[in-house]
Amino acid sequence: MSMQRSVVRVSLALLWAGAALAKSAISPPPQIPEALKPPAGESVVLKTYATGAQVYICATAADGKSQWTLKGPDAALRDEQGKVIGHHYAGPTWKLNDGSEVTGKAVAHVESPDQNSIPWLLLSVVSHAGNGVLAAVTHIQRIHTHDGQPPPATQCDATRQNIEARVAYSADYYFYAPDADEPPQGSPY
């Protein structure tokens, strides 16, 4: 009987290990600064690589001086094989080819290790649309940024008002959702 229990225990351990490996096969969470970590109980459900542009507009600031202001991103979202699976645009919004869409709001940022690149961000999802991979997403990280900083301030003056500048950039986006085996916040279970 004890041999049978051992076999059952080993089988259960292998089953749990297999489930954990399947879950981690999506993409392991990245190594990032503490300020950009999503809440406990959330895991990566999708990782995309974005390539495109940060779009800036030369406008007059509140102090009356001209400055570059971010209009929004315009980038293709690619899976780990390089296939375009969606689009990232002003909002900031991410829309996948499966019809799911989220809009986020930055809740934390850390300067990129590359001083010529836009900051790394943690965003909280403020709206959802459609069904698909993004339907349950609650947080997004933008990390591993490359380039995307606004043009030099000297290229934005009163003679260039409302002119757009598209600055190439790339970044990794990690999309997080609550763990399926975690009870919802406030659940009595």
Residue of 93, 72, 75 whose CA lies nearest to 84 = 75
Mean of pLDDT values over 116-124: 97
Structure confidence at residue 49 (pLDDT)? 98
Q: What does the alpha-carbon distance between residue 129 and residue 135 come to, in Å, rounded to a whole number? A: 7
What lies within 8 Å, CB to CB, of 66 at 6+ separation is 58, 59, 60, 156, 157, 158, 160, 161
pLDDT at 21 over 60: no
Helix (H, G, I), strand (E, B) or coil at 83: coil
Tens of pLDDT, residues 126-165: 999 999 999 999 999 999 999 999 999 999 998 999 999 9
**Given pLDDT bands bounded at 50, 70 and 90, which one contains residue 27?**
low
Name the pairing type of β-strands 93-96 and 84-89: antiparallel
For the ranges 8-17, 20-29, 134-143, the maximum mean pLDDT occurs at 134-143
pLDDT for the residue numbered 26: 54
The pLDDT value recorded for residue 168 is 98
Give residue 30's pLDDT.
Answer: 62
pLDDT at 180: 79
